[in-house]
Amino acid sequence: MRLAIVEGDGIGKEVIPAAVEVLDALGLDVEKVPVELGYGKWERTGQAITEDDLKVLKGCDCILFGAITTPPDPNYKSVLLTIRKELDMYANIRPIRPLPSVKGILGRSNFNFVIVRENTEGLYSGIEEIGQDISWTKRIITRKGSERIAEYACKLAKSRKSQLVIVHKSNVMKSDKLFLDVCREVAGSKGVEYTDELVDSMAYKLIRSPERYDVIVTTNLFGDILSDMSAALVGSLGLLPSANIGSRHAFFEPVHGSAPDIAGKGIANPIAAILSLRMMLEWYGKMPEAALVEEAVDAALTEGITTPDLGGTYTTKEMTCAVVDYIRR
C-alpha cells in the first residue's frame, strides 16, 4: 500500500503521528509518503496545496489526513474541498456509535448510525462571489451526484438494517427536490426501506431519539452540520472518524479540525485519527487488523484512559501508548 500521510496543521501534527504509530505496530507492508499541505505551507510558500501535491496524492492508494487551518487569504480555496473534488471522493462516511466508558450528552448508549454525506457539490460547490453588499454561493445538486451517493448509501444500508433516511430541505430549496426524488428512485430500485426528513426536524429527532436511525443520506452542508452535532451524542469531536470515498481514491481523516487553542500542548485526543486509520484498514480489506485497532481503542477507554476533552488527564502520547501496547500484546 502506498499511503500519503498529511499531518496538516495544529493538532493534525499530533494525532496523525499517533495514528501512524498504531499503523506501525500492526507490522503491515506500507510505503508512507509524507505530503505537506495547509496553513504552514501557505505561510512558507504562499500556496496551501499545489498541482504537484495533487499529483503525489493521486499516485497513492489512499491518504491519511489530519486537519487544516484556513489561512487568512480572501483568495484561499479550501484544501479539503480541492482534494475531495480533484480526486472525486464523492462519499463522506461518518459512523456515529457510542464508545465504552464515554458518556455523551443525555448519557445515551443505544445508538449506532452512519451519516453518508455527498462530498463534491451542494453548498460547497466553490462557485461563489464575495462583494461589499452582496455575497453568494451557488448550490449545485446534480442527478449524477445524487444517484451515486444514494447508491452508496443503499449499499451500506443493505449491509446493516436496510433502513435509510433521506435528509433534505426540499420544502424551501427547490434544488433539494432533485436530491430527494433521485434518492427515492434509487432506494426504491434497490429494495431499501426509506423515509425522508427535513434537516431541521432531523437535527431535533437525532438528539431526542438517535436509536431510531441506521443510515442517513444527505447533501454536503447538512451532513457536515449533523455529524458535528452527533459528536455530542458520542461525547467529543475528538472521537469521530471519517472516510472520503471515490471510485479510485480514498482519504481518511478525523472529523475535527486543527484546534489551534490546544495545538502543541500534547493533550489532543488521538482516537478520531486512530479510528480513521481503522476505517482505512477496513477499506483496504485488512479486516483482522481493523478489528484489532477497534478492540485496542475500546480497551484503553474501558481502562479509563482518556484525554482532557473527555474529562481525563492523559496526554496524546499516553493514550496512543495504551492502544499500541494492546496491539503488541
Q: How many CB atoms lie within 10 A of CB 296?
A: 23
**Residue 57 is a binding residue for ligand GGG (CB under 6 A):** no
Please report how close the Cβ of residue 270 comes to ligand GGG at its closest, in angstroms: 13
* Residue 238 DSSP code: G
Whether 224 is catalytic is yes
Task: Check 9, 176, 224, 309 and give the catalytic one.
Answer: 224
Residues touching ligand GGG: how many (CB under 6 A)? 10
Residue of 312, 280, 275, 309 whose CA lies nearest to 295: 275
Please report how close the Cβ of residue 117 comes to ligand GGG at its closest, in angstroms: 13
Distance CA 146, CA 31 (A): 35
**Residue 40 is a binding residue for ligand GGG (CB under 6 A):** no
Please report how close the Cβ of residue 87 comes to ligand GGG at its closest, in angstroms: 14
Task: Check 124, 152, 194, 213 and give the catalytic one.
Answer: 124
Q: Which residues contact 153 (CB under 8 A, 6 or more apart)?
A: 116, 164, 183, 215, 217
Residue span 138-167 as binding mask against ligand GGG, x where in contact by CB under 6 A, dash where not: ------------------------------
**Nearest CB to ligand GGG, comparing residues 42 and 113:** 42
CA distances from 21 to 28, 90, 209, 237, 293 (A): 12, 29, 37, 21, 12
Please report how close the Cβ of residue 144 comes to ligand GGG at its closest, in angstroms: 24
**Residue 254 is a binding residue for ligand GGG (CB under 6 A):** yes
**Residue 79 is a binding residue for ligand GGG (CB under 6 A):** yes
Whether 176 is catalytic is no
Q: Candidates 67, 102, 259, 280: give the one binding ligand GGG (CB under 6 A).
A: 67
List, as one string, the DSSP characters of 40-90. HHHHHHS-SS-HHHHHHHHTSSEEEEEE-PPPS-TT---HHHHHHHHTT--
List, as one string, the DSSP characters of 264-294. TSS----HHHHHHHHHHHHHTT-HHHHHHHH
Whether 326 is catalytic is no
* Residue 263 DSSP code: T
> By the 8 A CB rule, do 274 and 18 touch?
yes
Please report how close the Cβ of residue 245 comes to ligand GGG at its closest, in angstroms: 15
Please report how close the Cβ of residue 263 comes to ligand GGG at its closest, in angstroms: 12
**Nearest CB to ligand GGG, comparing residues 186 and 271:** 271
Grid cell of 182 as nine digits: 433521485
Could you say which residues in the range 191-210 bind ligand GGG, by CB under 6 A?
Answer: none
**Residue 35 is a binding residue for ligand GGG (CB under 6 A):** no
Residue of 289, 272, 266 whose CA lies nearest to 11: 266
**Residue 277 is a binding residue for ligand GGG (CB under 6 A):** no
Residue of 181, 192, 174 whose CA lies nearest to 146: 181
Q: Determine the 3-state secondary structure of 233 from DSSP.
A: helix
Whether 228 is catalytic is yes
Q: Candidates 14, 121, 151, 253: give the one binding ligand GGG (CB under 6 A).
A: 253
Interaction site with ligand GGG (CB under 6 A): 67-68, 70, 78-80, 253-254, 257-258
Q: Which residues are catalytic?
A: 124, 169, 200, 224, 228
